[in-house]
Structure 1
Amino acid sequence: MEPPRPSPGPSGTPGTPTTRPKQAEITPAGGLNLRESPSSSGAKLATIPQGTLITLLEEQAGWYKTTFADQTGWVAAEYLTLVDPSGSDNQPDKPAEPKTRQGVITAANGLNLRDNPSSSGEKLVTIPKDATIQILAEQSGWYQTTYETKTGWISAEYVSLIPSEASDPPPASPPAPKKGKSTAANGLNLRATPAAAGEKITTVPGGTLFEIIEEENGWYKISFDSHTGWVSGEYVEIVENTDEDKADDAKADEPAVNPNPPSEETLPEITIDLSVNGTVYILGGSGVISSTAQSIIEGKAFSKYKENLRDFPPLPAEIKKEEPPEEEEPDDPEEPAPPVDTEYDPSREVPVDPFIDIPEYALAGKVIMLDPGHGGPDPGASGPSKTHEKDNTLPIALALKDILTQAGAEVLMTREDDSSPCTASKYTELEDLKARVALANSCNADLFISIHNDAFTNPAVNGTTVFYSAANPKNVESLHLAGSIRTSVIDIIKTTDRGVKPGNLYVLNNTKIPAILLEIAFISNPYEEARLQNQTFRENAAAGIFRGIYAYFTTPIPKD
């Protein structure tokens, strides 16, 4: 939102050009839109990052004319901090506000971000070595910072401060190679890109050791079975000793890890009787196996046949002689366990503050279009209790509008009541969708968020899904937006994560701005239908979407 700025006071009247500051600094955390004309409806030319110093060329009705990235346009004066280069006394006499300090992580295996300034604090995420971070606060030898949308504390001992005069961090020495081990019991997917939506290449078995080539946004680049790709860092254990405040919290008294490639000494030893005539059970059969097969079973080697790379039952440490079955009568069968309690308890819905660790007016200058799915003659999906999707999507969108407005954003909506945006003489679903797309493409918005409920014939199916379209001209940005919203929403409402998926959906294919469609929960599932009726759940879902939007604007788009 870019409202007009109040007229300058007497000290800034047009008759005193020599005392007017000629430069200003961008203050919104998400940057400020440069527009073609001095109006919030003007076409957006670019976004000027927070902290950028700009030269003011002209002033008109609460807007300043300036040039950025070879483009000349207008910015809202309300979101600027004026700077007087002459050092005159026109500005209030106060010490210069220092720039946010920056630092570089020096811990070889990354540094833990914790929820409080203590080594006993809960680990939130690991910040990789050589990552540049902004220091928000300092307390007792700890720095507060934000990484991957999470705000917490890191030990100052492993942070190298960047001098304020320097424009770039000092060159870092090449990182020492480090190794990791897959902790996923059923194997870990190796993907083509560092994202859960990346194409799956193969599966790395649990317990496999590998060398980490690169790290990006919580993903590790590795090579496995002649393939190079990315694995989620969430399921990787770093197998190298570090100090208490470094990644993985390894203890100093643990034995050093052998830096050589994986061998029998670096893997758990399993004793198997391979003597001639010894009985080894493989896939239900018996026989004598070769040393190659034994290595595959123990996880020290991998079959060259892809059809063999699947999950097998774990082998016992020793083969025991099979006992003959007893002839006793079987005991009475146990009574079946009682069914899992699916009774909905509204008291479990605890309100969430959407603005925790997010600065005031963080989305100033942003324009967001919200699309509450269905409406009017189209009820959408229906639940077992005869509730309708259109009656859930609108309250969530309205709650989200309130949050975004408080954060400084301008919010547009395809509908604000039980109606359809379709203006055609005869209503059809296609005409309704065309109307929503037309609104999105005509308003110069930064994002398009479509809110829906999912449904399926099996009432047990549940969870949250976020869709994006590869056909959208902003598909890379859309995928980044989908991932950010998925993480934040599921983190708050605790639904089953059904992932980010490409979707051939009209409103996503035909919008020209970054766009996603969020299926918050299954209205066909009785438990989730009840949650969708709860206003606290709706507001929490809106909070999750808002935090995902903020993360989208404040974290870089992952590279392929």
Structure 2
Amino acid sequence: MNKKTLLRLYVLLFFLICLLFPSQVFGAEGLYITVDGRLINADVAPYIDSQNRTIVPIRFIGEELGYSFNWDVTSKEVTVNGNGAMIRLWIGQKAAEVNGMIAEMDTTAVISQGRAMVPLRFILESMGVQVSYDEKNSAVNILRASTDENNQESSFEDKILVINSPKVNVRSGPGTNYSVLFQAVLGDKFIISGINQDWYQVALGDGNSGWLYESTVDLVDAGQLVNEGAQETARETTLVISEDVVNIRTGPGVNYAKLDTTKKGDSFQILSQKDDWYEIALTGNRSGWVAGWLVSLHSDSSVASRTEEPGEHRESPETNEPMWTEPVQISEIKVDTANGGVLLDIAGSQKIIYAISNLDQPKRIVLDLYNCILNTGDQGDGTIVVDHDLVKSMRFAQYDARQVRIVLDLNASAGLNLVSSAEGDSKLAFAVAEPSLAGKTIVIDAGHGGQDPGAIGPSGLYEKDVTLKIALKLAEKLQNKGVNAVLTRSDDTYVSLEGRAAVANNINADLFVSIHMNASTSSTPNGTAVYYYGVNGQGDVRKKLASSVLEELVQRIQRKSNGVLEENFAVLRLTLVPSILVETAFISNNEEEKLLAQDYFQEEAAEGILKGLEGYFLH
């Protein structure tokens, strides 16, 4: 072969290589890269691979774009950190990780000229950086987020994303090729943490993030949302403490001072949210902050009973209030310690309706006299020093227009028992004694009954039948403890809501406990909740009672705690004595319906409620 022929072969081979691998032949001049309009020269030439993806040396990511990176020669692993994203990929593998979530690439990282070369678009778009390719000029253009008024991310600082479709996929990355983390539903709200072309990155509240497509959400002004939606959020969502002990802080972060502590099962109204922290309403018109990862949120639809009894009308709190006759004139309140004990004597003009409450921090007993007016002459409102081992002092006053309140400030745990009544219950004598369940009068209300079956489970189990069985078992257990247990119904009959409350009011019961099963239109919700309603100045004591019963009940039946919740149920609104409503479990849930039908589970539920009632009186 002569030299001329050989030269022709070399030229033909050169053009063939140029045709197949133009970027490797022409280097950086074959593919241009600009960053924010500035032309960049790489020490190892970037190129377009067979998948039409731009491949660049990993050092370019760090030196030209300012992101931190690491290249592990042994494991062939590349790690890149920037813009709130941590990306891991491996030489020769299409699988990658973005913030701990698996993502699939359509190309791979490679080793070229001793350098780790990585897919440019995949890395930068995972960080929310815009990348475009100008085919005409063979140029890759990178537009990073600026720090001026054009910064898209900063322009969304005051915006909230609201889901505008029935169900929306939240993905692990900015594209439909990324895995689905979960489905958001209509009305769900998210805080924006980043943006990548048509995708929003959102904070998920557990240290991770997800991505939402722009057409599935609406941008809402955060200030407007707080101003117009705070009451709605508080009304529709309840925050329940999910850990044993949780600090309440003065601000949204662990660096803020501890204001108070709360415990598992306690529930609060939400006032606002900042990042992963919730501002909650506390007593005394105060507020505090708790960490979002230590709580669970429950909408009314997932925890509130869907089996209203006839005449419930929870939306009308002022209806069916007790109708009082002429007010009782309280003419005397006195304390006697002559015989070593503490006796409290009260005299009125006619029958006195009352309720006794036990409170903590500090320990005290509250005696409320209803439809009563103080008419004690020179005695007036006042404080009486008792100076006894159990009682420190006694205070009394006109609590409101028709309610007199007597408070016994205690030196130790104690109970208050009625020891005598005379002249048609217009003269009452109470003794302060060691705390005990024995001697108390507790009304047990089996929900629904008769023509009202309550909720019906998937297999046909009636709520009214389960509530009665648990109520009967609880009554027997209480009687064995020396309690006067009174049932609102002992068979399959119907009692009106007003009639149920009247049973407790008319006999001056110590407590009222209504037993129910929860239900939902979905078979998914499950767990146990205890409700109270803060009327008659009994908010704290009713919440204490509900907390005690929930703690023991959940421990006994081993179901999920949905918390202590406040709700305007009629039987709670109309009872003058401390009262609670127990939603034992979800009869609409297949697993829990099967449990509710079992005698042993009903026994455990009754035992759990009993233990909770004991805890209320003894601690």
If you compute each CA radius of gyration, which structure gives the higher value, 1 or 2?
A: 2
Report the TM-score when normalising by structure 2: 0.33
Task: Give the number of the structure whose residues are more often strand, by fraction.
Answer: 2
Higher relative contact order (CA 8 A, sep 6+): 1
Report the TM-score when normalising by structure 1: 0.37
